[in-house]
C-alpha cells in the first residue's frame, strides 16, 4: 500500500491525458527525422554507417539521461527535470531546422536523446503522480501508448510532408517546434506537488526495490526484443523498403514506421483489461512472428511482408512495454517510480542501441537485406527464450 506521502497528487482525468502530451511531442521530435534522413543523405552525402551512428548518438544521450534523470526526479521533483529537458528539445529542434552538416545532426540528435531520456523516466512518473493511486494502470497505458504513438506519428507526418514539399525539413520541424512549446506550457501548469525531502545521494544509478526485481526482469525480457525490432524500422526500415522498391515514396516509408507504432499503440488499448501474464506471452510470440516475417520479407524482397513484419513487431513492442510499465506503476512506491522507469528503459534501449549499430555496420558490408535477416534470426531466438521463460514461471507471475 502507498501512503499519502508517496502519492504526490491526485487530479482530474483531463490532466492525466494532458500530462501525456509532452511524451508524445518528444517522441514526434525523436522520430520525425526517420524519413528525412534520405533528404539529408542526398544533400550531405553521408554513408549508411554514418546514418546508424547518427541514430546511435541519440541512444547514447538517451541512456545517459535515463541513468541520471529518473533518480534525480525522485529526489527533487518532476518539473525541475522536465522543464530543462523540454528546453533542450526545443534547442535540438531548432538545430534540425537549420542543419547543413553531419556534426549539426549529431549535436541535435544527442540533445534530443537526453531530452527523451528525461521524459521517459520522470515524464511517465509525472503522469502516474497526477493519476493517483487508483488510476495507476490508466497512467501506464497513457504514458506507454504516448511513447509509441509519438514514435509513429513523427515519421508519418514527416513522410507526408516530404512527399509534397520541396524542402520538407522546415515545415516538419517548424510544426514540431510549436508542439514542443505547447508541451512546455503544459508542464509549467501541471498540478504536481513538490517531492518530499529524502536522504541519500542526489546522483545514483536507477534501480527498483528488491521485491519488484522480478517485475523489472519480466518487462525487459519482452520489451527489449520488440524495441530492438522497432529500432531497426526507425533506423534502417525505410532504407530496406527503398532497396526493395526504388519507386517508394517518402510517404510510404513513413507509413511503414507508422504501421509498426500504430500497432504498438492499439495493442496496448486492446490489452488494457487483459491479465499481464497473457500480455507478456502474447508480446513475445508476436515478436517471434514479426521476426519471421522480417526474414521472409528481406530474403524474398517483399514490401508487403515488410509491412506485416512492422505490424507484428510493433505489437510485440507495445505489449512488452505496456506490461513492463504497468508492473512497475502498480508495484513500485511513487518516490521510486521515475528511477524504476529508467531501469526498465535502460534494460530495453541498451540492447536496442547495440543491435541497431551492429545492423548498420553489417548493412554497409553486406547490404541492408542481409543485415535485416541476421537481426531477425537473433531477435527471434531472444524473444522465443523470453516466451519460454514466462511459460515456466506463469503461475508465479503477478495477477494485476
Number of Cα atoms under 13 Å in the Cβ half of residue 400: 24
Please state, for a pLDDT cut of 70, what percent of the chain lies above it.
90
Nearest-angstrom CA–CA distance, 234 and 35: 8
The residue-averaged pLDDT of 230-248 equals 76
pLDDT digits (tens, 9 = 90+) for 186-208: 999 988 876 665 555 555 666 67
Query: 294, 178 in Cβ contact below 8 A?
Result: no
Closest CA to 310 of 297, 323, 325: 297
Residue 185 has pLDDT above 90, yes or no: yes
Please state, for a pLDDT cut of 90, what percent of the chain lies above it.
16
Residue 350 has pLDDT above 90, yes or no: no
Residue 10, pLDDT score? 45
Nearest-angstrom CA–CA distance, 373 and 193: 49
The residue-averaged pLDDT of 39-46 equals 80
Measured CA to CA in angstroms, residue 154 lies from 178, 254, 385 at distances of: 14, 8, 32
The residue-averaged pLDDT of 18-24 equals 91
The residue-averaged pLDDT of 41-67 equals 80
- The mean pLDDT of the chain is 81
Residue 17 has pLDDT above 60, yes or no: yes
**What is the value of pTM for the model shown?**
0.75
Residue 8, pLDDT score? 42
Closest CA to 275 of 129, 124, 137, 125: 137
Q: Which of 86-95, 165-174, 316-325 has the highest mean pLDDT?
A: 86-95
Residue 59 has pLDDT above 70, yes or no: yes
Question: CA 361, 364, 369, 370: dihedral to nearest 10 degrees?
Answer: -60
pLDDT digits (tens, 9 = 90+) for 98-112: 988 889 999 999 999
Residue 60 has pLDDT above 70, yes or no: yes
The residue-averaged pLDDT of 18-35 equals 89
Q: How many CB atoms lie within 10 A of CB 60?
A: 16
Residue 140 has pLDDT above 70, yes or no: yes
Query: 183, 126 in Cβ contact below 8 A?
Result: no
- Lowest mean per-residue pLDDT among 260-264, 269-273, 318-322, 358-362: 358-362
DSSP for 289-345, please give it.
HHHHHHHHHHHHT-HHHHHHHHHHHHHHHHHHHHHHHHHHHHHS-GGGHHHHHHHHH
Query: 219, 328 in Cβ contact below 8 A?
Result: yes
Query: 228, 355 in Cβ contact below 8 A?
Result: yes
Residue ranges of domains in the chain, CATH in brackets: 8-191+210-396 (1.20.1250.20)
Helix (H, G, I), strand (E, B) or coil at 60: helix
Nearest-angstrom CA–CA distance, 67 and 182: 27
Residue 1, pLDDT score? 37
Residue 7, pLDDT score? 41
pLDDT digits (tens, 9 = 90+) for 386-399: 788 777 776 666 55
pLDDT digits (tens, 9 = 90+) for 313-335: 889 888 888 888 887 777 777 77
Residue 241, pLDDT score? 81
Query: 11, 337 in Cβ contact below 8 A?
Result: no
Nearest-angstrom CA–CA distance, 100 and 97: 9
Closest CA to 336 of 214, 204, 144: 204
Confidence of residue 138 (pLDDT cuts 50, 70, 90): confident
> With b meaning 16 or more CB within 10 Å and e meaning fewer, what string describes 235-247?
bbbbbbbbbbeee
Q: Which of 16-20, 31-35, 254-258 has the highest mean pLDDT?
A: 16-20
Q: H helices within 99-135, ranges in order?
A: 102-118, 124-131
Residue 374, pLDDT score? 83
Amino acid at each position: 500500500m502507498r501512503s499519502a506521502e508517496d502519492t504526490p497528487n491526485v487530479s482530474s482525468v483531463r490532466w492525466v491525458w494532458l500530462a501525456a502530451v509532452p511524451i508524445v511531442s518528444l517522441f514526434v521530435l525523436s522520430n520525425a527525422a526517420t524519413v528525412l534522413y534520405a533528404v539529408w543523405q542526398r544533400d550531405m552525402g553521408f554513408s549508411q554507417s554514418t546514418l546508424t551512428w547518427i541514430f546511435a548518438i541519440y541512444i547514447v544521450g538517451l541512456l545517459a539521461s535515463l541513468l541520471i534523470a529518473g533518480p534525480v526526479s525522485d529526489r527533487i521533483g518532476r518539473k525541475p527535470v522536465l522543464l530543462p529537458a523540454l528546453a533542450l528539445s526545443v534547442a535540438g529542434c531548432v538545430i534540425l531546422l537549420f542543419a547543413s552538416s553531419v556534426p549539426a545532426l549529431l549535436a541535435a540528435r544527442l540533445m534530443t536523446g537526453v531530452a527523451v531520456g528525461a521524459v521517459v523516466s520522470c515524464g511517465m512518473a509525472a503522469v502516474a503522480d497526477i493519476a493517483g493511486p487508483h488510476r495507476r494502470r490508466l497512467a501506464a497505458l497513457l504514458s506507454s501508448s504516448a511513447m509509441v504513438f509519438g514514435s509513429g506519428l513523427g515519421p508519418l507526418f514527416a513522410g507526408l510532408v516530404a512527399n509534397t514539399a520541396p524542402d520538407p525539413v522546415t515545415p516538419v520541424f517548424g510544426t514540431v517546434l510549436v508542439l514542443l512549446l505547447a508541451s512546455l506550457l503544459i508542464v509549467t501548469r501541471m498540478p504536481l506537488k513538490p517531492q518530499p525531502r529524502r536522504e541519500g545521494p542526489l546522483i545514483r544509478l536507477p534501480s527498483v526495490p528488491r521485491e519488484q526485481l522480478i517485475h523489472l526482469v519480466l518487462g525487459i525480457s519482452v520489451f527489449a526484443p520488440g524495441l530492438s525490432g522497432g529500432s531497426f524500422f526507425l533506423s534502417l526500415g525505410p532504407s530496406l523498403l527503398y532497396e526493395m522498391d526504388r519507386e517508394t515514396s517518402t510517404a510510404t516509408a513513413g507509413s511503414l514506421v507508422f504501421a509498426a507504432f500504430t500497432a504498438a499503440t492499439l495493442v496496448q488499448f486492446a490489452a488494457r483489461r487483459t491479465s499481464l501474464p497473457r500480455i507478456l506471452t502474447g508480446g513475445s510470440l508476436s515478436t517471434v512472428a514479426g521476426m519471421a516475417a522480417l526474414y521472409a520479407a528481406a530474403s524474398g524482397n517483399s514490401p508487403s511482408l515488410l509491412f506485416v513484419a512492422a505490424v507484428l513487431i510493433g505489437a510485440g513492442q507495445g505489449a512488452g512495454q505496456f506490461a513492463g510499465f504497468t508492473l512497475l506503476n502498480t508495484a513500485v512506491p511513487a518516490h521510486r517510480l521515475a528511477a524504476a522507469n529508467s531501469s526498465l528503459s535502460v534494460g530495453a534501449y541498451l540492447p536496442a542501441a547495440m543491435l541497431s549499430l551492429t545492423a548498420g555496420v553489417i548493412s554497409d558490408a553486406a547490404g541492408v537485406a542481409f543485415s535485416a535477416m541476421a537481426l531477425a534470426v537473433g531477435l527471434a531466438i531472444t524473444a522465443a527464450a523470453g516466451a519460454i521463460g514466462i511459460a515456466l514461471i506463469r503461475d508465479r507471475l503477478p495477477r494485476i
